[in-house]
Amino acid sequence: MADDLPDDSLFMRRALDLALLGTGYARPNPLVGCVVTHRGRIIGEGWHRQHGGPHAEVNALASVADQSLLKESRVYVTLEPCAHHGKTPPCADLLIAHGVPEVVVCNDDPFPLVAGRGNAKLRAAGARVETGLLAPEGRWLNRRFFTFHEKKRPYLVLKWAETADGFLAGRYFQPVAISGPQARLLTHQWRAEEQAILVGTRTALHDNPHLNVRDWPGPNPLRVVLDKNLCLPPAHHVLDGHQPTLFYTYRQRPDAPNRAYATLSEADDLLPQILADLWQRQVQSVLVEGGPTVLNALLNAGLWDEIRVFRSPQKLGAGVAAPRLGLSGLRSVENVGDDELFRYVNW
C-alpha cells in the first residue's frame, strides 16, 4: 500500500549524503546527489564525482540494472537538473529521454544558465516535478555555490587558533604552536574542502607556511597571498611553485609557472578588489588563515560566512592579540583534543 512506502525525505537525505562525497573534487560545480526509486525501493544512485565528469543524474541512471524501470521511477536530486550544454549534455534532457515521470528537487539552481529552466523543461515534457524538499539542508550543503552566485563573491571561512588569554602569536609575530595535533589534522581537512586559502604578508613572512594539504586526502587549495610590496624572500614556501599561487600586490610582476600576480589599485579598499577578482577567477570559497590584520578587516567589513576558532588551554601572557568575538552567530562549541573549537555562522 502507498502508506507503507518510505517517506520522500529519506530518499532526499540519501541524495544529500551522496552529494557530500564530491567535496573538494566537484568544484566549481555544486555538490549534487541523485537517487532513483521504483515503488519505494532504491534501484540506482550516484553523485557528481569530479568537475568535468558525468553529473549525478547520469551516474544514478546508469547504475540502474533494469533500464525499463526508469519509465516508472521517481528520481530525487539535490539540485535542479541542468538545462544547458556545459562540459556535459543537459541532465534534464537525459531524464526526459529515459521517460522518467517524477522528479523531486531539493533546490532550484541559481546558476543563470539553469535558474528554473531545467524544471520547466521537465514539466513541458510531461514529468511531474516537485521542488523544495529539505531545501534548507540543500542550501547549507551548497552554501559555497549559492554564496558565489547570489553575492558575487567567494564563501569566506575565517580560521585561527588562540591561547586561553587571547593571543594568536608571540611578541613581534613570533610563531607559536598553539593548537594540538587533532586541530591541525582538522585544519588540513578544511584546506582540502575549500578552493583557496588566503594569508596576509606578515603571516606569510613570519610563519613561512606551506598552505597545502599534507595530513588529509584531497586536493591542494589555490594559495592566495597578500604581498603588497613583494617583500617575501625567494626561498619562502609560497614561492616554491609546487601548487598554484596567486599574489595580490601594488607592484607589477610577470606570471611564472604556478605563480600569478594581480596588481591592486592603491586608491581603493583592498578587500572589495580582491573579492571581486577572485569571483572573476571563479574561486567559490576561501579559507582565511590570517593574520590579524586581514582577519580584523574582514570582520569589521562583515565579510565572512563562517568563523572557526581553536582555543588552546595554554597561555602566553603577551603577544599578538586575536580578534575579539561576542556570542552573535555562535553555532557550536566542541572539544578537539585538548582544544575547544568555536564555530560561528553568518549565513
Residues noted as catalytic: 57
> CA dist 151 to 110, 144, 154, Å?
11, 10, 8
* Separation CA 342–CA 245 (nearest Å): 29
What is the Cα Rg of the chain in Å? 23
* Separation CA 20–CA 31 (nearest Å): 6
| Phi, psi dihedral angles at 68 (to 5 degrees) | -65, -20
Whether cis (ω within 30° of 0) applies to the bond prior to 272 is no
DSSP string, 8-67: HHHHHHHHHHHHHTTTTTSTTSPP-EEEEEETTEEEEEEE--STTS--HHHHHHHT-S-G
Per DSSP bridges, beta strands 155-162 and 245-249 are unpaired
> CA dist 243 to 37, 193, 246, 260, Å?
42, 16, 10, 11
C-alpha cell at 219: 586536493
DSSP string, 293-330: HHHHHHHHTT--SEEEEEE-S---SSSEEPPP--STTE
C-alpha cell at 37: 526509486
* Separation CA 286–CA 171 (nearest Å): 28
